[in-house]
Amino acid sequence: MTISRTEAGPAVPEGFVVHTESTTSILFAAPPSSSGTGTAPVFLNPVQEYNRDLSVVAIRTWSEARQAEKRKYWEEGLRRKWARKRARDLNGAGGDGAEKFAKPKSTGAGEDEGKGKGKEATAALKEGDDDDDEGEFLLSRYLILLTLRPLAQQTQEEGTLPPAPTFKFSLLEALSATGLRAIRYAKELPLLRYVIANDLSASAVEDIRRNIAFNGLAPKGLHSIPGTEGMPEEEIKPGKEFSKAQIEEAKWGKVRANEGDACVFMYQHRAEEARFDCVDLDPYGSAVPFLDAAMNAIADGGLMCVTCTDMGVLAGHNYPEKAFTHYGGVCVNAEYSHEVGLRLVLHSLATTAARYGRYIEPQLSLSIDFYVRLFIRVRTGPKEVKAVPSKTALVYYCHTCQSPHWQPFGRVQERVSEKNGNVNLTYHVPAGPPDQVKGDRCSECGGKFHIGGPMWAAPLHNKAFVRDMLTHVEEHASDFKTSDRIKGMLTVALSETEAPLYFSPSKMASLFNATCPPISTFGSALLNAGYEISRSHAVAGSIKTNAPRTFVHDVIREWIKTNPVMMKNVKDGSPAKSLLAKEQTHEVSLAHNPKVTGALLDNIKLVRYQINPQANWGPARAAIRGAPPPK
């Protein structure tokens, strides 16, 4: 989709100023002074343009994947109808055709022989019709034969597939404020059916309606539909002439403002037919108060977009009690706290979904500037819900050297049936504590263990989804002002190893009172030993690896052999003294590895991390409550 921008627009009412972002211009009350230092009665943070651009890319990517999935189901359903008709024709024709598909008579003793896979295939191919046993058997036999033939042959025999319908989606922005995000979605998401912009504040909803009209998206009435000229409105109904979507958009518009409590509104849409395909939660602070309602209001396979800006709780260490009460896990006092913050939010999402027999699939999880932004798909499935404990873990980490050790809450075991070869999963309580934790002291430096979590311990991203997002933004770079940064962050996220947490070489070196080796030297040592490495999107200069922390420490010990530590600066009883006294247990090669440049993305020119977009940037002030907009 290529976004078109028009320079000219409607006249700006007196007392308002215009803020333009991408395709959308919105009105908000002019600051009280010409200096522009006032605060508007609604919340708007221009720095969050990156968040909104990224969201457009993510939702477009998801909607295209959803369209492909829906088309596949539609085609399968159509072929099943063709197959049912052919099976019935063959059954009624007699002769060879009927004999070929005739149901064999029962032989008694061997009746159950050959069940299993054939039975499963029949169940998977049946559509749930009310045919008798004979008809169901004929249908399943024909469907099995049909699926074994090439697609081109099926199409030739059954007829050419008609054009697939377009499967559009509904979207809820639960906390809309100005309506900027919702209006951008309406203009920039080709497969969007409608978006509801909800806010609790009456003045905010008034602004939303004003901005909808200012952008030319106000409802145009039923007679705006071509072919309705002169028709009474009561006769304009969904049917062959007019689609339901056409009538809804003409009557209510593509962006629909709603004044109400976000949670109450979402609970009112928990019926399966009333759910939204996409729910966007972008609050001022934590999204936790809205998660339960959002899980009830999102359709199966839907995309949930979540922002949390309370990084002092998620990535800090001064409020462990608040992290636990909000997210169900304790934050950590370690350099990898920003990734832990992401995992705490995912843990809260996963446990909230599991209460309703649903599970999450993280598509993209990013720690950005002063907030986290996550895109997850929500699905229903009892088997996947049972696996949630095995994707949840505590982390034992040394308060001094920050070495992490994971303790999962569950264990999944595969059992292969000797009878039919089927793989069955069983779920067990894990053993603990982790093997590396012996007592309450770290075996590396003697520091005390602290505990973080429970938190999400599975991958943060869906690599295929991130790759599709990256392809999309590269093809439509001109649509987004922040496209360079989106490409940079997505490229880093795509390259990340699935091993949890990261470290910085400078932090590792400081533990030994040593000079810091170049990041390429550190990466080469890990690659030479056969471990995976990547950068982390969360912190500049960091490394993610599946190497144990004992090996990471041995890299520093190997470096010290040629870059010795000044022992006069190492105090007795210090952590550095303990780490230096420990013998190296791994063979480490610091020789340059040619793969390190690609692994650390040093061969690509990227905008990986944020540069200051404006003076005093960061979380903006909250909206002034009760301040009415000018009339």
Q: Which two tokens stand for residue 99?
A: 């004999």
Domain presence at residue 56: yes
Residue 423 has pLDDT above 50, yes or no: yes
SS3 525: helix
The string of DSSP codes covering 128-139 is -----HHHHHHH
- Calculate helix-pair angle for 483-495, 463-475, nearest 10 degrees: 150
pLDDT score at 113? 40
Residue 31 lies in domain: 16-48
Task: Please write the tens of the pLDDT for every residue from 79-90.
Answer: 888 888 777 877
Q: Are 610 and 51 in contact (CB under 8 A)?
A: no
Domain presence at residue 576: yes
Q: Which two tokens stand for residue 195?
A: 């978006």
For the chain, the first-to-last Cα distance in angstroms comes to: 37
What's at 16, amino acid-wise? F
pLDDT score at 83? 81
Residues 503 and 383 in one domain: no
Alpha carbons 162 and 158: distance in angstroms, whole number:
12
Average confidence (pLDDT) over 397-413? 96
Q: Are 343 and 457 in contact (CB under 8 A)?
A: yes
Residues 23 and 57 in one domain: no
**Which residue carries 């006249």 as its tokens?**
11
Residue 7 has pLDDT above 60, yes or no: no
Of 18-22, 117-121, 219-223, 619-623, least confident by mean pLDDT is 117-121
Q: How do beta strands 411-416 and 423-428 pair?
A: antiparallel
- Final residue in a domain of this structure, among 364, 387, 410: 387
Indicate the average pLDDT of the chain.
85
pLDDT score at 110? 43
Residues 559 and 546 in one domain: yes
Q: How many helices (H) and strands (E) does the chain have?
A: 21, 16
Task: Give Cα separations from 583 to 118, 205, 511 (angstroms).
Answer: 61, 66, 16
Q: What is the CATH number of the domain that holds 174?
A: 3.40.50.150
Q: How far is CA 172 from the centre of its chain?
A: 16
Q: Which two tokens stand for residue 599?
A: 């692994």
Residues 377 and 505 in one domain: no
**Exposed (0-12), middle (13-18) or buried (19+): which is 319, by Cβ within 10 Å?**
middle
Residue 382 has pLDDT above 70, yes or no: yes
Alpha carbons 361 and 459: distance in angstroms, whole number:
9
Q: Are 266 and 174 in contact (CB under 8 A)?
A: yes
- Calculate helix-pair angle for 202-214, 180-188, nearest 10 degrees: 30
Task: Please write the tens of the pLDDT for every residue from 551-600.
Answer: 999 999 999 999 999 998 899 989 999 999 999 999 999 999 999 999 99
| DSSP-H helix ranges across 541-595 | 549-562, 575-581
364 phi, psi to nearest 5 deg: -155, 130
Alpha carbons 25 and 76: distance in angstroms, whole number:
43
Q: Which of 597, 106, 610 is nearest to 367 (CA)?
A: 610
Alpha carbons 199 and 206: distance in angstroms, whole number:
10
Residues 58 and 198 in one domain: yes
Q: Which of 394, 465, 400, 398 is nearest to 433 (CA)?
A: 394
Residues 364 and 502 in one domain: no
E strand or H helix at 276:
strand 276-281
Q: Angle at the Cα of 427 (from 422 to 429), degrees rounded to 5?
A: 155
Alpha carbons 193 and 214: distance in angstroms, whole number:
20
Residues 191 and 326 in one domain: yes
- Classify residue 584 by its DSSP letter: P
Alpha carbons 20 and 397: distance in angstroms, whole number:
47
Q: Are 553 and 579 in contact (CB under 8 A)?
A: yes
Domain presence at residue 376: yes
Task: Please write the tens of the pLDDT for every residue from 480-502.
Answer: 999 999 999 999 999 999 999 99
Residue 625 has pLDDT above 90, yes or no: no
Domain presence at residue 478: no
Alpha carbons 313 and 309: distance in angstroms, whole number:
9
Domain presence at residue 94: no
Q: Are 139 and 84 in contact (CB under 8 A)?
A: yes
Residue 106 has pLDDT above 50, yes or no: no
Of 17-21, 93-97, 433-437, 578-582, least confident by mean pLDDT is 93-97
Q: Are 466 and 309 in contact (CB under 8 A)?
A: no
> pLDDT: is 278 or 432 the higher one?
278
Q: How do beta strands 276-281 and 169-173 pair?
A: parallel
SS3 22: coil
Residues 211 and 360 in one domain: yes
Domain presence at residue 111: no
pLDDT score at 112? 43
Q: What is the CATH number of the domain that holds 533?
A: 3.30.56.70
Residues 200 and 55 in one domain: yes
Size (the chain), residues: 631
Alpha carbons 619 and 282: distance in angstroms, whole number:
13
The string of DSSP codes covering 138-187 is HHHHHHHHHHTS-HHHHHHHH-PPPPPPP--EEEEESS-TTSHHHHHHHH
Residues 369 and 504 in one domain: no
Q: Are 32 and 23 in contact (CB under 8 A)?
A: no
Average confidence (pLDDT) over 249-276? 96
Q: Are 36 and 623 in contact (CB under 8 A)?
A: no
**Contacts of residue 477, Cβ cutoff 8 Å, sequence gap at least 6:** 483, 484, 487
pLDDT score at 476? 96
Q: Which two tokens stand for residue 22?
A: 């991408």
Residue 309 has pLDDT above 80, yes or no: yes
Residues 363 and 504 in one domain: no
Of 158-162, 175-179, 613-617, least confident by mean pLDDT is 613-617
Domain presence at residue 411: no
Domain presence at residue 209: yes
Average confidence (pLDDT) over 15-19? 87
Radius of gyration of the chain (CA): 30
Q: Which of 336, 562, 307, 304 is nearest to 452 (CA)?
A: 336
> How many structural domains comprise the chain?
3
- Classify residue 448 by its DSSP letter: B
pLDDT score at 128? 38
Residues 359 and 213 in one domain: yes
